[in-house]
Amino acid sequence: MWEYTDEVKEHFLNPKNVGEIENADAVGEVGSLACGDALKLTLKIDDTETIVDAKFKTFGCASAIASSSALTEMIKGMPLAEAEKVTNEDIANALGGLPKEKMHCSVMGREALEAAIADYRGVILPMAEGEVVCECFGVTDLEVKRAVKESNLTTVEEVTNFTKAGGGCGKCHDRLEELIQEVREESPTPAIPDQRPKRMTNIQKIKLIEDVLEKEVRPNLRKDGGDIELIDVDGDFVTVSLRGACGSCLKSQTTIKEYVEKKLREQVLDSLVVEEAKA
């Protein structure tokens, strides 16, 4: 059973503003039956561009209904210029939070609001023009990138929680991975990109280990008159032999653990264990 907050339960059991405004000034429709949730938002907007009334109809789970209800409560009486800035986090916060797997319900609320405002202004939303990456749920690359950017998402799983993309057959996971990467590269303060491949064959792993030893480890050891040689890779166990000054050094254990292992874990695989070959 989901852990829903009291706010979610209240909005679900006693939803506010259910229905459809006749002759609405703005209509926003998102989602579909196939996706499992859908929201139709209708707004009444006055001459000062203020939302004077909002109603919704929602097909979906408790958090979808609660998100719709909370959204309409939030935007009633709001100037359009302000409503444009409402984010999915605002909706989730109004509900005291949502289970992470249900964040896409708050995203649906935000999307419906945007669609309604676009409808009022007579413009076409850029999101819909993107290229569909997730065919199961009809999510475009632009929608994915936006969610990644706004909510600082770092994994495919998070992208699925927020946008549903990747939650069906899973064929688009690689593409989602790329989109996350693209956003990180575009963003002004990029997190350090993790370039380690997710899965490696044994040969790829050995090559990568040799590479790191050659380019990073060996030059450093040589400065102290030492050297390192790769003896064997068996699963996660990497056997190396230290030469020269390092080999006789009492600190070789520390060198291996703290330095070589750390480097290899950072750049190859978190689970690697480095051991020194027995003489």
Partner 1 sequence: MISEKTDRIVYMDNNATTRVAPEVVEEMLPFFAEYYGNPSSMHTFGGQVGQKITEARQRIAALINASPEEIIFTSCGTESDSTAILSAVQSLSDKRHIVTTRVEHPAVKNLCESLYSISGHKHKVTQIPVDKYGMLDLEKYRDSLTDETAIVSVMWANNETGVIFPIKKMAAMARERGILFHTDAVQAVGKIPIDMTEVPVDFLSISGHKLHAPKGVGVLYVRKGTRFVPFLFGGHQEQGRRGGTENVASIIGMGRACELVAARMDDENTRVKALRDRLEEGLLQAVPRAILNGHKTERLPNTSNVSFEFVEGESILLHLDRFGVCASSGSACTSGSLEPSHVLRAMGVPFTAAHGSIRFSLSVYNTDQDVDYVLEHLPKIISDLRAMSPFWQETVTEKAE
Task: Give the DSSP per-residue string, 186-229.
Answer: HSSSPPPP----SS--HHHHHHHHHHHIIIIIHHHHHHTTEEEE
Residues 6+ apart with CB under 8 A from 122: none
Is the alpha carbon torsion for 178, 180, 183, 185 positive or negative?
Answer: negative
> How many residues appear in the chain?
279
- Token pair 């503003």: residue: 17
Q: How far is the CB of 53 from partner 1 (least distance, A)?
A: 17
Residues 6+ apart with CB under 8 A from 177: 156, 198
Determine which one of 35, 134, 172, 246 is catalytic. Answer: 35
| 35 classed as catalytic | yes
d(CA 66, CA 35): 18
Sequence letter at residue 5: T
**DSSP 8-state secondary structure symbol assigned to residue 79:** B
Q: Using CB under 8 A, which of 6, 14, 199, 279 touches partner 1?
A: 14
**Residues in binding contact with partner 1, number by CB under 8 A:** 29
Q: Using CB under 8 A, which of 12, 98, 133, 264 touches partner 1?
A: 12
d(CA 39, CA 17): 13
Q: Using CB under 8 A, which of 52, 78, 118, 136 touches partner 1?
A: 136
Q: Measured between alpha carbons, how far is residue 173 from residues 74, 156, 159 in Å?
A: 35, 7, 10
Nearer to partner 1, 10 or 227 (CB): 10
Nearer to partner 1, 38 or 260 (CB): 38
| 246 classed as catalytic | no
Which range touches partner 1 (CB under 8 A), out of 29-37, 180-188, 235-243, 265-273? 29-37
Partners of 227 in beta bridges: 243
Q: How far is the CB of 226 from partner 1 (least distance, A)?
A: 40
d(CA 41, CA 238): 59
Contact between 13 and partner 1 by CB under 8 A: the answer reads yes
Q: How far is the CB of 189 from partner 1 (least distance, A)?
A: 32
By CB under 8 A, the residues from 69 to 128 that bind partner 1 are 101
Residues 6+ apart with CB under 8 A from 135: 168, 169, 171, 172
Contact between 39 and partner 1 by CB under 8 A: the answer reads yes
Which range touches partner 1 (CB under 8 A), out of 30-38, 151-159, 191-199, 206-214? 30-38
Q: How far is the CB of 132 from partner 1 (least distance, A)?
A: 16
Strand, helix or coil at 114?
helix
Contact between 62 and partner 1 by CB under 8 A: the answer reads yes
By CB under 8 A, the residues from 150 to 189 that bind partner 1 are 160, 164, 167-168
Catalytic residue ranges: 35, 105
Residues at the site binding partner 1, with contacts judged by CB under 8 A: 2, 12-15, 18, 29, 33-34, 36-40, 57-62, 64-65, 101, 136-137, 160, 164, 167-168
